[in-house]
Amino acid sequence: MKKYLLFFIVPLFGAFHVFSQPFHESGIIQKVIPGIVDGAAIWGDYDGDGDFDILATGETGSGLVSEIFRNDGNDNFTPINAGFIALSKSFASFADFDNDNDLDVLLCGVEDANFPDDPVTLLYENMGNGLFSVLPAGFDGVANGFSDWADYDGDGDPDLLLSGNQGLFGRCRIYCNEGQGVFLETEIFMEQILTGEASWGDYDNDGDPDILMCGNYKNQQGQIEKISVIYRNDGAAQFTRIDPGLDDIDNCNVTWADYDADGDLDILINGSTYGPTHMVYIFQNLGADTFFTIGIEIFGTVDGSISWGDYDNDGDLDFLINGKISIGDEIITEVYKNINFGLFTKDDQINLLPLYRSSSAWADYDRDGDLDLLMTGNKEFDGDKKLTVLYKNMNPLVNAAPQPPSTLSSTVDQNTVLLQWDRGSDIETPQLNLTYNIRLGSSPGTGDIISPLTAENNVRQLAGMGNKFQSLYTAVSDLSAGTYYWSVQSIDNNFDVSPFAPEQTFTITSQTGY
């Protein structure tokens, strides 16, 4: 049984690592990547060469942009001329929708910021050698949107969760990946949020991803309401709406993270409340669909972002917040340090540019063992101060990669298999805090059934949790007869990966479902 714990912001002292300003701004990137607002810049190794590249989209001082900037090492980034449609009020995500172990691209937004009622959502297949081909996937176009990928139906390929607005109308849809570039819009009902986000995460560790969403939507009477809810994945395309007492917020950011290292995903929500203030709320996962608000007092933001990462290599998850606060309409970028897995304090040693209409993303782009920071946004309310900034982490402490899981086992039942494993381990990240990344293929060492997005040199192509979150098992269904090869690796809070555990096999002899 879990204990109900109350945590407070505390002064920055105690038995933990303290060092001077750990981030050094790299001026080189600003000469290559334009300053961006109302968009996003994210990390991903699109070419599988072992370092993180940048996908950027949004409004610049001279127009709109959607482009990949290849990491050539030594802080040099080169635009690849990918041929993407330039967008504003935009969002971008990477996913391997076709399980060929390279990063494909999803973009949503508007082609003309003056006409926000005609948005698009476009899926680009990675053809290799820097070439991308747009697919007629048939997604709803959304602006000011959010996209996230996970295998909600257990067939091995990632499905799309898409939210945003079409003018005065909200959208929140799940698109089921049927393979061969075909996606079907599901009939799963959720509130159609206008300004907010929806994100996958397995909060109950049952092996399938659930949905966290917040924002505002039109009720049946046409009135705008705020909402923060969970949709629990009960399998067989059934989702149950859970109202665990989260504060209703719009113009918001939501994210899952196990901040207290107890082995289940907690919630951070940032945005505008019913009152005049913007707030950050952290909800501790107590199990049994129950969440408890921890006692913190952090002014939140709108038109900003939040992102988790262990920037100081002490093993726990810290978070960054930027955007516009409600007190004096001030713009901020602040980092809150996690002390002893639940006490949060603003790190006053860190001095970062304040940005709003902004995005933020952590990754170890230079592979030196600590998380670096990429941000976009506007520095001022008035005037044109659009920026894209890269901060190199100068932390002298180097993260060690985790150790792989053990005791892999499989149980076959007709054309379905249950895959299980025991936890990995790590020097910095607590064992319960690790996430897991699985690969499953039809031949040794491959991931054509479940893609791990891990390159041959054992470097993951995304910075974030593994594709199975913190679960220690997963079921895969609808498998054809044959022999399959699988393994799993650990991922720590620095988003570093372990080697894959020794590969295992199982055989499907029946093609008959239940």
Domain end, chosen from 370, 393, 416, is at: 393
Q: What is the CATH number of the domain that holds 342?
A: 2.130.10.130
Per residue in 87-114, pLDDT (tens digit) is 999 999 999 999 999 999 999 999 998 8
Q: Does residue 29 sit in helix, strand or coil?
A: helix
pLDDT above 50 for 196 = yes
Q: Quick one: 310 and 455 in the same domain?
A: no
pLDDT above 50 for 471 = yes
The pLDDT of residue 10 is 41
Max CA-CA distance within the chain?
Answer: 67
The whole-chain average pLDDT of the chain stands at 92
Q: Region 259-276: what's the mean pLDDT?
A: 92
Q: Quick one: 389 and 414 in the same domain?
A: no
Q: Quick one: 367 and 431 in the same domain?
A: no
pLDDT above 80 for 341 = yes
What residues have CB less than 8 Å from 337, skipping those under 6 apart?
A: 12, 16, 312, 318, 344, 345, 346, 347
pTM: 0.94
Which 8-state DSSP code applies to residue 153? Answer: T
4: in domain: no
H helices, E strands: number in the chain: 0, 34
Phi and psi torsions of 437, nearest 5°: -130, 120
Q: What is the CATH number of the domain that holds 444?
A: 2.60.40.10
The pLDDT of residue 1 is 39
Q: Quick one: 306 and 430 in the same domain?
A: no
14: in domain: no
- % of the chain with per-residue pLDDT over 70: 95
Query: What gap in Å lies between CA 138 and CA 122, rounded to an integer?
Result: 8
Token representation of residue 241: 């709406």
479: in domain: yes
Q: Quick one: 212 and 354 in the same domain?
A: yes
Q: Region 8-24: what's the mean pLDDT?
A: 55
The pLDDT of residue 511 is 62
Q: Quick one: 318 and 439 in the same domain?
A: no
2: in domain: no
Residue type, 60: T
Task: Strands of 311-452 (E only): list them.
Answer: 318-324, 331-339, 343-346, 356-363, 372-378, 386-393, 406-413, 416-422, 435-441
The pLDDT of residue 383 is 62
For the ranges 18-27, 163-172, 203-212, the maximum mean pLDDT occurs at 203-212
Domain region containing 462:
408-508
454: in domain: yes
Domain end, chosen from 333, 359, 393, is at: 393
Q: Quick one: 346 and 412 in the same domain?
A: no
10: in domain: no
Query: What gap in Å lies between CA 334 and CA 386, rounded to an integer?
Result: 18
201: in domain: yes
The pLDDT of residue 329 is 74
Domain count, the chain: 2
Per residue in 385-412, pLDDT (tens digit) is 999 999 999 999 999 999 999 999 999 9
